[in-house]
Amino acid sequence: MSFLKKLKFWQHDETALGDLKLDEPLPGSTAITPEDKPLPTFEQSMGMQPTNQPMMQPSSPVSLATLEQELRLLTSKVETLIAKMDNMNQRIANLERIASEAQR
């Protein structure tokens, strides 16, 4: 019977925890209050620039030809992804058709 009581760990003696004050630090510990060390902002924690500074500052002017070439590259990558997704949709449709025929 005592073995089963050990398994019921969620049933504990309330009097053992009754004198514990949760809003006070433990004896011998150094508590850090929010006034001691402020929390970092999202930008600081992610290593990003603050929002009041411009995001992009090109060191040299970018030519129109370079931008067009990058746009063509991105367009071809998006078209490739669309083609792959269409292929996966066709495969899923075939699998669903086979599964529905097998259930009949």
Q: Can you give the residue ranges of every domain in the chain?
A: 63-104
Query: In angstroms, what CA-CA distances link 34 with 2, 50, 88?
Result: 45, 22, 51
Q: What is the pLDDT of residue 81?
A: 96
Average pLDDT of each block of 10 consecutive residues along the chain (104 residues)? 58 56 64 63 69 60 87 96 97 96 91
Q: What is the pLDDT of residue 68?
A: 92
> 65, exposed or middle or buried, with CB in 10 Å at 0-12, 13-18, 19+?
exposed
Phi-psi region for residue 66, left (φ > 0), alpha (ψ -120 to 50) or beta?
alpha
Q: What is the pLDDT of residue 62?
A: 76
Model pTM above 0.85? no
